[in-house]
């Protein structure tokens, strides 16, 4: 934990049962040598007393804009500028909504709006609130604004229901902050190309051949690379995700369009990560009108092979460029991934297996093995944001 030493951290606490865990988080941060300023919302004080928090942090806890009896004004601007990082844990649905929309009606949200430093949120709420489109939309907005979401866990909740919404454990939250200070701006000055999402290959104006990729892994990689200071070009197939903060996105539809955009960006790239699930085949002919239903049988649709983007970049790779691929396998994972590493002239390949629970398309988690010509490293199941950090750690190691 020594990267936290001397760091200024604003710990925002909101009104949720998980506030009791914030005491442990505060203790861990202080023990690691960080200076912590607690900012609590009025409802946060219903769950945990400022006395405990100020005793542990060694600083008065800030809740209101003024201290009632002295009239002393608490400057959210000063706190925001003082911070090297801000972490809101627990972050309730209400506070996430206020942060996403800039409703600055308390010290915590006002401080957030003034903070120049990176901000982390650790959501904690009941499963239905967590799964509500409004919460998911607010989290997407915050991600697009550059906030790092420390994903909640699945488990027993305060309501005794079991589901997703438990705040991540304090050790993990402190670990995420520690890692942030460890990696710092390790990709400053580097140009990174990432492909993400599926490709759609048009059959007619209303139908296409595609796959279940949602782009989450590629977008998490783009966000992480940008956070580490890289200039990131994300070539994205059709997905329902918002643009990660500070990332240049080139939107494409088909494999051919993705190849064109990737080849263009690869000329200048130091690192290229091929996270897209490119359709292997496309219809040989595009039918310009909607194919009607009147026939009892449809003539077969002839498919032709799409270009292999990773292999094409592999052929033109210069010395000093790092090319990373993914291999999503159902069986013989290691052997297939190694074969792709060689065939596509990659420097590293990230294997994820569809047979691993929690890994693969659409999930917020992934379980990977990183393979290079020197060997392999297997990682446990983690959030895609953490997996992205692991992959970039491996690339920059």
260 interacts with ligand CTP by CB under 6 A? no
- Residue 387 within binding range of ligand CTP, rule CB under 6 A: no
When the beta carbons of 171 and 339 are compared against ligand CTP, the nearer one is 339
Helix, strand, coil % over all residues of the chain, rounded to 5? 35, 25, 40
Pick 12 or 325: Cβ nearer ligand CTP? 325
Residue 252 binds to ligand CTP (criterion: CB under 6 A): no
Could you say whether residue 326 binds ligand CTP (CB under 6 A)? Answer: yes
Contacts with ligand CTP by CB under 6 A: the residue count is: 15
Among the listed residues 197, 325, 333, 360, the single contact to ligand CTP using CB under 6 A: 325
328 binds ligand CTP (CB under 6 A): yes
Alpha-carbon Rg of the chain, whole angstroms?
23
Nearer Cβ to ligand CTP (41/214): 214
Report the alpha-carbon distance of residue 259 to residue 256 in Å, rounded: 5
Residue 331 burial by Cβ neighbours in a 10 Å radius (0-12, 13-18, 19+): exposed
Q: For this structure, is 345 an active site residue?
A: no
Cβ distance to ligand CTP smaller for residue 19 or 276 = 276
User: Distance (Å, rounded) from C-alpha 88 to C-alpha 102?
Assistant: 15
Q: Report the run of H or E that residue 266 belongs to, with start and end.
A: helix 255-266
User: Which stretch of DSSP H or E encloses residue 123?
Assistant: strand 119-123
* Options 309, 348, 370, 385; binder of ligand CTP; rule CB under 6 A: 309
Q: Which residues of 107-137 are buried (b: 16+ CB within 10 A; e: fewer)?
A: bbbbbbebbebbbbbbbbbbbebbeeeebee
Q: Is 274 in the site for ligand CTP (CB under 6 A)?
A: yes
Catalytic residue among 106, 178, 211, 366: 211
Q: Near ligand CTP by CB under 6 A, which window of 36-44, 281-289, 304-312, 366-374?
A: 304-312
Among positions 177-236, residues that touch ligand CTP (CB under 6 A) are 195
Name 101's bridge partners: none
Task: Examine residue 168 and tell whether it contacts ligand CTP (CB under 6 A).
Answer: no
Instruction: For the segment 329-348, give every residue that binds ligand CTP (CB under 6 A).
Output: 340
- Rounded-to-10 torsion of CA 101, 104, 106, 111: 100
Binding site for ligand CTP (CB under 6 A): 195, 255, 274, 276, 278, 280, 306, 308-310, 325-328, 340
The residues carrying an active-site annotation are: 211
């Amino acid at each position: 934990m020594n990267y936290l030493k001397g760091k200024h951290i604003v710990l925002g606490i909101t009104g949720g049962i998980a506030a009791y865990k914030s005491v442990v988080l505060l203790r861990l941060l202080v023990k690691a040598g960080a200076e912590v300023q607690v900012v609590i919302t009025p409802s946060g004080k219903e769950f945990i007393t400022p006395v405990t928090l100020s005793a542990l942090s060694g600083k008065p806890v800030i809740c209101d804009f003024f201290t009632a009896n002295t009239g002393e004004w608490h400057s959210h601007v000063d706190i925001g500028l003082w911070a090297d990082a801000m972490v809101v844990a627990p972050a309730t649905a209400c506070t996430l909504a206020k942060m996403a929309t800039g409703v600055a009606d308390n010290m915590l949200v006002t401080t957030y709006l003034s903070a120049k430093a990176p901000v982390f949120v650790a959501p904690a709420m009941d499963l239905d609130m967590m799964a509500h489109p409004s919460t998911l939309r607010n989290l997407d907005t915050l991600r697009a604004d550059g906030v790092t979401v420390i994903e909640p866990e699945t488990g027993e909740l305060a309501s005794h229901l079991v589901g997703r919404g438990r705040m991540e454990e304090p050790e993990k939250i402190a670990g995420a902050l520690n890692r942030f200070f460890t990696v710092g701006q390790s990709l400053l000055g580097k140009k990174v190309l990432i492909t993400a999402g599926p490709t759609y290959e048009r059959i007619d104006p209303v139908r296409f051949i595609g796959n279940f990729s949602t782009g989450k892994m590629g977008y998490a990689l783009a966000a992480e690379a940008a956070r580490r200071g890289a200039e990131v070009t994300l070539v994205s197939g059709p997905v329902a995700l918002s643009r990660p903060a500070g990332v240049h996105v080139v939107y494409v539809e088909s494999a051919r369009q993705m190849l064109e955009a990737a080849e263009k960006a690869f000329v200048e790239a130091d690192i290229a990560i091929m996270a897209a699930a490119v359709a292997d085949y496309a219809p040989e002919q595009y039918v310009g009108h909607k194919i009607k239903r009147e026939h009892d049988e449809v003539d077969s649709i002839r498919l032709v092979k799409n270009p292999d983007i990773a292999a094409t970049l592999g052929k033109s790779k210069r010395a000093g460029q790092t090319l990373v691929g993914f291999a999503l396998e159902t069986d013989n994972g290691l052997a297939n991934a190694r074969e792709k590493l060689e065939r596509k002239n990659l420097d590293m390949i990230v294997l994820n297996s569809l047979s691993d629970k929690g890994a693969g398309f659409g999930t917020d988690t992934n379980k990977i093995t990183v393979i290079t010509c020197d060997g392999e490293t297997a990682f446990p199941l983690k959030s895609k944001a953490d997996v992205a950090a692991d992959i970039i750690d491996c690339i920059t190691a």
